[in-house]
Amino acid sequence: MDSVDTQPPFVIAALLAGRLYRMLETAKTMSISSSNAKCISIRGGTKTVGFKPLSDYISDMAKDTISISSKISSIALQFSITAVNEKRALSALSDFTKVINKISDQNKKDSLYFINNKLETKITSLRQQQFDYCQLLTILFDDIAQRIRAAKIIVINSRTEASRAEEYQNNLFSIADNLESCSEDIASEIKTCRFYLVNLKNMIETE
């Protein structure tokens, strides 16, 4: 796991967007495996009939995971862009403040105060946007995590169904192994991403 202790929010948000790509790739693998399972369950007729609803569920879940991961990745990227903009606005605010402290003419100071006020408004708005992104990301991660928990149970059931599938047993066991491995990978990625998200939330709340 990348160390985030010393990283600014715009880097952590980009790290999050980057990690989501891995989740997306795993979900695609999961989708392919569940399509294979569907084909076998159709070919196997009554021997594999119990496997079909399970593979349908996994297939739908993989598609949803792809869709939600893409959405999270896009929001995380917007978060990073917003955090960069906040950093630039903060830097400008600091520079203008230094100038204000160096000049004595009140009219000139007032014109710079006007700019600083606008910057402060912008910074407040950018922070609010980041807070909103955090909230949204938390909801979306909870959604994926819930689906993955369900997928793990489904994979266990699919092993029971596979054991009844006679000559299709080995193929279905192999697919169940693959689905289980994908579920574990996605669960692990969710854990990492949530860790980043908690760091981001803490940073925003302490700003």
Please report, as ranges, the residues that interact with another protein according to CB under 8 A: 2-3, 6-8, 10-11, 13-15, 17-19, 21-22, 73, 76-77, 80-81, 83-84, 87-88
- CB atoms near residue 146 (< 10 Å): 10
Q: Quick one: how far is CA 179 from the chain centroid?
A: 20
Residue 145 · residue 197 · CB < 8 Å: no
Distance in angstroms (rounded) separating the CA atoms of residues 87 and 203? 13
Q: State the nearest-atom distance from the C-beta of 19 to another protein, in Å.
A: 7
Task: Give the C-alpha distances (Å, rounded to integers) separating 10 from 13, 21, 78, 108, 125.
Answer: 5, 17, 10, 34, 16
Closer residue to another protein, CB minimum distance, 106 or 206: 206
| In the complex, least distance from residue 77 CB atom to another protein, rounded to whole angstroms | 5
Q: Which is nearer to another protein, 28 or 164 (CB)?
A: 28
Q: How far apart are CB 25 and another protein at their closest, in Å? A: 9
**How crowded is residue 136: how many other Cβ atoms within 10 Å of its Cβ?**
15
Output the CA angle 76-82-83, nearest 5 degrees: 90
Are 133 and 207 in contact by the 8 Å Cβ rule? The answer is no
Minimum CB–partner distance for residue 66 and another protein (Å)? 15
Between residues 61 and 193, which has the closer beta carbon with respect to another protein? 193
Which residue's CB is nearer to another protein, number 17 or number 176? Answer: 17
Among 13, 35, 26, which Cα is nearest to 126's? 13
CB 196, min distance to another protein, A:
11
Q: Indicate the residue among 34 and 82 with the shorter CB distance to another protein.
A: 82
Task: Rank residues 30 and 76 by Cβ distance to another protein and give the closer one.
Answer: 76
Cβ of residue 189: shortest distance to another protein, in angstroms? Answer: 13
3 state DSSP class of 7: coil
